[in-house]
Amino acid sequence: MEPVHIIGGGLAGSEAAWQIAQAGVPVILHEMRPVRGTEAHKTEGLAELVCSNSFRSDDALSNAVGQLHWEMRRLGSLIMDKGDAHQVPAGGALAVDRDGFSQAVTAALEAHPLVTIDRAEIAGLPPAEWDSVIIATGPLTSPALAAGIQSLTGEDALAFFDAIAPIVHFDSIDMGVAWFQSRYDKAGPGGTGADYINCPLDRDQYEAFIDALLAAETTEFKEWEGTPYFDGCLPIEVMAQRGRETLRWGPMKPVGLTNKHNPTVKPYAVVQLRQDNALGTLFNMTGFQTKLKYGEQAAIFRMIPGLQNAEFARLGGIHRNTYLNSPKLLDARLRLKADPRLRFAGQITGCEGYVESAAIGLLAGRLAAAERLGREIEIPPATTALGALVNHITGGHIVTIDEGPRSFQPMNINFGLFPPIEGQATHGPDGKKLKGPAKSVARKHALTARAKVEMEAWAGGEQAQAAE
């Protein structure tokens, strides 16, 4: 049987290799370290953790990443198995001994009879004779391979820097303060004329907001990232430093809008949020890319009327990160539409985080193995964490509702990616009406309970098909 080739030995590539080999298909894992190093990696180990050693919350009842942990364990994840084996104390989070974890992943793959590890750089696109390839090269994809991908897909295929605005859960926005309206009621190519949520500020609120921005702490670029500021994506705090009115005549301009809650009073400034996913559960803060530290962001953005109780699906940032415009370029099975022998996995697809990268590697590996064995498996339902994540990557994102630039950005798993539950319970076991935090907890529990049932059904069906 011809092998499946995987380029990249990070978490996604390692997980994909394990899943393929466990399915009985030979795999060659190509990792360029130590032949060619990167600016961030320190060792030649597979699945090296280059930043934090945390896989974040392990709470599978109330947390979306905890639910993803649960699903990956259910599906025989190598990354979760070795993470559990090398856990270090971290409260409710799963954190690992980074060296022990990487060494264990490397040893498991080296010992597997169907895994071959090739220590060499794949410079440019894979050879034509490789008929099944998973590219899992992450945010530090080698320049030669990145150029090859661009040659297949066009110049806008890859982003090399994120300029990310915060993303807010819709149900945490106070629509008694905010309202839906596009500037001048203009309907863009995919819009209706009421496509933005608008949060109004009076003069005192705007001045206090600017003061907070100017006083806030920012994160620094890593040495190898450079400083990727350009006028199209300046951080809001940099704009504020250029003059107190800069934001008011930039992303916070109040023109062409009428506050439906108070139509006779013109706002001094307006923050707009644009729908970010097809479900309408997430909205991004338009033009609010930032290098503010996360704690500062949450406090400052909750100063904005309408966002005082905002829950963030992700906070803003600007950093180096190579990733595809996946909703446009990949099919539902993570294959490149321009060359379907190439499948992508991990951060390069537009997911964010160790666990999410490994999860997409797990799915890509299973899809590639099934394809090699002459089977075709279904994608997990969007009601599961894994299904919700891949749905966001390949089709759940709204490309644009206006003439603006592409807006697809890397995303961690979060409950905003899950389809809402219809007819959710409004009262607790004691008969009292659920409010505030209790209502939010009940919603999360309902989402994870549904996800577990759906994942069990999907995994059981996949196992039955493999046994035929």
- On whether 346 is known to bind a ligand per the annotation, the reply is no
Amino acid (1-letter code) at residue 73: R
Spatial distance between the Cα atoms of 155 and 2, rounded to a whole number of angstroms: 33
Residue 370 known to bind ligand:
no
Residue 458 identity (one-letter amino acid): W
SS (H, E, C) 16-54: HHHHHHHCCCCEEEECCCCCCCCCCCCCCCCCCCCCCCE
Specify the 3-state DSSP secondary structure of 97: coil
Work out whether the CA dihedral 192, 331, 461, 83 comes out positive or negative: negative
**Residue 287 annotated in ligand binding:** no
Residue type, 140: L
* 129: DSSP letter: T
80 with 72: CB under 8 angstroms? yes
- As a whole number of angstroms, the distance between CA 241 and CA 463 comes to 58
CA angle 383, 385, 391 (to 5 degrees): 70
Q: What are the CB-based long-range contacts (under 8 Å, 24+) for 21-24?
A: 21/109, 21/112, 21/114, 21/115, 22/76, 23/365, 23/366, 23/369, 23/370, 23/373, 23/466, 24/114, 24/369, 24/373
Q: Where are the beta strands (DSSP E) in 286-434?
A: 312-314, 317-324, 335-336, 339-344
| Per-residue CA distances from 224 to 19, 40, 372 (Å) | 33, 8, 39
Is 11 flagged in the annotation as binding?
yes
* Contact yes or no for 103/45 (Cβ under 8 A): yes
Nearest-CA neighbor of 336 among 350, 322, 324?
324
Report whether 34 contacts 164 (CB < 8 A).
no
| Structure tokens belonging to residue 54 | 């945390």
Among candidate residues 44, 42, 139, 49, the one with its CA nearest the CA of residue 94? 49
Angstrom distance (rounded) from CA 270 to CA 259: 10
Rounded Cα gap, residues 63 and 315, in angstroms: 17
12 is in an annotated binding site: yes
**Dihedral sign, CA of 56, 158, 196, 205?**
positive
Residue 10 counted as an annotated binding residue: yes
Binding residues for FAD: 8-13
Binding residues: 8-13
